[in-house]
Amino acid sequence: MMAEHTVKAFDEDITRLRGLIAEMGGLAELSIQQSMEALVSGDEVLAAEVVARDKKLDAIETEVDAMAIQMLALRSPMADDLREIIAALKIGGVLERVGDYAKNIAKRVKRIEGRSHFEPLTLIPAMADLAGEMVHDVLTAYAARDAELARDVILRDDKVDAFYDSIFRNLVSYMMENPATISSAAHLLFVARNLERIGDHATNVAEMVHFAAVGTYPNDIDR
């Protein structure tokens, strides 16, 4: 059994680890939101901010990894504590990728021409709101160990997928009617795809949170 001061040090480490994950989540959400503002307005300065923020996310992920490894090495945690640390490692990895997707969207901002003509430029931000909320809520569920909220996030992924299908069809029709816009429209296809992937990643984290909270995956949800 660990001595009391060791338990306290471990709890402090867990709190710090959870703080780093929350920080990553906040930055990833901000990047999703700003990548959309930049996409719609064509604001390349804002897009560059999103691209720059990705390095910060990479750095925090490295910190999460290092801290998790140190906790595993120094404290040899058991059962729930061990699962908690492994979950933090995985969630850190997912948030780093969400940041990558937002960076990828931001990098496409200057490639889009004639943005006032694209109907998907109203659909895509609505899709991004949904995906961004999934990221936000899954981190709330993680912080509160809330299996119900995690379940709710998983259910929302179908809506994001439906948005994606609709935007895909819309962009393909638009390309057929306006071949001169094909290059811009192809970049928007990738933007929509990146958002769809963000929804998938939030869903994966939600499954981990559900598992950590109640010990089962929500198998009754048809996915």
Contact between 145 and a copy of itself by CB under 8 A: the answer reads no
Two tokens at 121?
Answer: 């430029």
Select 30 or 121, whichever has its Cβ closest to a copy of itself.
121
Alpha helices in 76-181, H assignment, sequence order = 79-108, 120-144, 147-177
Whether 198 and 36 have beta carbons less than 8 Å apart is answered as no
Task: Give which of 148, 143, 206 is closest to 14, Cα–Cα.
Answer: 143
Sequence letter at residue 194? N
Select 140 or 170, whichever has its Cβ closest to a copy of itself.
170
User: C-beta of 69: minimal distance to a copy of itself in Å?
Assistant: 6
User: C-beta of 177: minimal distance to a copy of itself in Å?
Assistant: 8
Neighbours of 222 (CB within 10 A): 5
Among 86, 121, 143, 221, binds a copy of itself (CB under 8 A): 86
Among 52, 59, 144, 176, binds a copy of itself (CB under 8 A): 176
Contact between 115 and a copy of itself by CB under 8 A: the answer reads no
173 to 161, 162, 169, 181: CA distances (angstroms): 19, 17, 6, 11
Kindly state the number of chain residues that form the binding site for a copy of itself, as judged by CB under 8 A: 27
Q: Given the rule CB under 8 A, which residues bind a copy of itself?
A: 65, 68-69, 72-73, 76, 78-79, 82-83, 86, 89-90, 93, 168, 171-172, 175-176, 179-180, 182-183, 186, 189-190, 193
